[in-house]
């Protein structure tokens, strides 16, 4: 069974200020991430595109583009669901952290009851408690709220500790402060590369704040787990083919 393909898009604007998503290259997700982690940021990625691709984008879709303050690349599938951030070199450890390692790291960052109470009273250390809370809220809203995972959340203990919470806040608190709930959710979500990758990228910001810009795993471990090389020539040929396909489609739409 062939692995699902994802596309790297450039989000630009044409001279009429219409936003256009230009496909750059399509790859399996792991290979896509291995490709983009060769670059420090979106500017370096853009600068290393084939000359013809870069020239076309600059002439047609670089109106009001500022690489210094924005990232104009994103990754998605054919249905544009989900829209995913690009992983750059600084976060390359995300690619090589194992499922159980990521799960244990997230579980270890659970909130204490006192931390959660401080959040409710809005008396907390912005760099730690608020970021923990926002992460677990994100986890609930994006993976639990409208899914079967909701039934796996044990709220019994939390209900007694926080009797005044709404049903939604009770679920968030039950995830944030209960090691077993976090463990179960991370185990379920970590089964799929796309979900695990996006979860890790979202959590990385919280982890960095708590651990002073640390890595999930050190560089030596990451290097030992790299097992594939990107064929740059083949990749750039694919980009040129993708450009030709896009130009034909775009020109046809302009004619209409």
Answer whether residue 199 is part of any domain: yes
Same domain flag for 147 and 174: yes
Is the pLDDT reported for residue 124 higher than 60? Answer: no
Give residue 70's pLDDT: 73
pLDDT in tens, 83-114: 999 999 999 999 999 999 999 999 999 999 99
Q: Which domain does 58 fall in, by range?
A: 5-89+229-237
pLDDT in tens, 175-217: 999 999 999 998 888 888 888 999 999 999 888 888 877 889 8
Number of domains in the chain: 2
Answer whether residue 255 is part of any domain: no
Residue from 115, 79, 75, 100 nearest 206 by CA: 115
Answer whether residue 55 is part of any domain: yes
Contacts of 45 (CB under 8 A, 6+ apart): 36, 39, 73, 86, 88
Same domain flag for 42 and 106: no
Same domain flag for 45 and 82: yes
pLDDT in tens, 45-60: 999 999 999 999 999 9
Answer whether residue 221 is part of any domain: no
What are the helix (H) ranges across 1-139? 29-36, 42-47, 51-61, 93-96, 99-108, 113-120, 131-139
Same domain flag for 172 and 140: yes
Same domain flag for 201 and 174: yes
Same domain flag for 123 and 63: no
Same domain flag for 67 and 151: no
Residue from 144, 140, 81 nearest 111 by CA: 140
Q: Enter the pTM of the model.
A: 0.86
Give residue 2's pLDDT: 65
Q: Which two tokens stand for residue 240?
A: 């040129």
Give residue 255's pLDDT: 42
Same domain flag for 50 and 111: no
Answer whether residue 253 is part of any domain: no
Answer whether residue 103 is part of any domain: yes
Answer whether residue 251 is part of any domain: no
DSSP state of 3: P
Same domain flag for 127 and 174: yes
């Amino acid at each position: 069974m062939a692995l699902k393909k994802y596309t790297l898009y450039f989000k630009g604007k044409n001279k009429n200020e219409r936003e256009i998503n230009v496909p750059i290259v399509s790859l399996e997700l792991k290979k896509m991430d291995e490709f983009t982690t060769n670059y420090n940021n979106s500017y370096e990625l853009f600068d290393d595109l084939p000359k013809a691709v870069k020239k076309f984008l600059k002439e047609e879709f670089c109106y009001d583009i500022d690489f210094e303050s924005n990232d104009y690349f994103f990754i998605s599938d054919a249905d544009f669901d989900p829209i995913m951030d690009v992983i750059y070199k600084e976060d390359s450890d995300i690619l090589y952290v194992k499922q159980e390692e990521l799960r244990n790291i997230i579980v270890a960052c659970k909130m204490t009851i006192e931390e959660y109470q401080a959040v409710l009273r809005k008396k907390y250390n912005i760099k730690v408690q608020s970021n923990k809370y926002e992460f677990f809220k994100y986890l609930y809203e994006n993976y639990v709220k409208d899914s079967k995972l909701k039934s796996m959340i044990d709220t019994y203990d939390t209900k007694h500790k926080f009797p005044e919470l709404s049903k939604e806040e009770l679920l968030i608190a039950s995830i944030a402060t209960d090691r077993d709930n976090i463990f179960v959710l991370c185990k379920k979500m970590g089964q799929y590369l796309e979900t695990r990758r996006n979860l890790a990228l979202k959590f990385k910001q919280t982890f960095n704040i708590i651990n002073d810009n640390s890595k999930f795993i050190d560089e030596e471990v990451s290097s030992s787990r790299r097992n594939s090389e990107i064929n740059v020539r083949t990749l750039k040929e694919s980009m040129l083919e993708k450009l030709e396909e896009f130009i034909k489609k775009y020109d046809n739409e302009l004619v209409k």
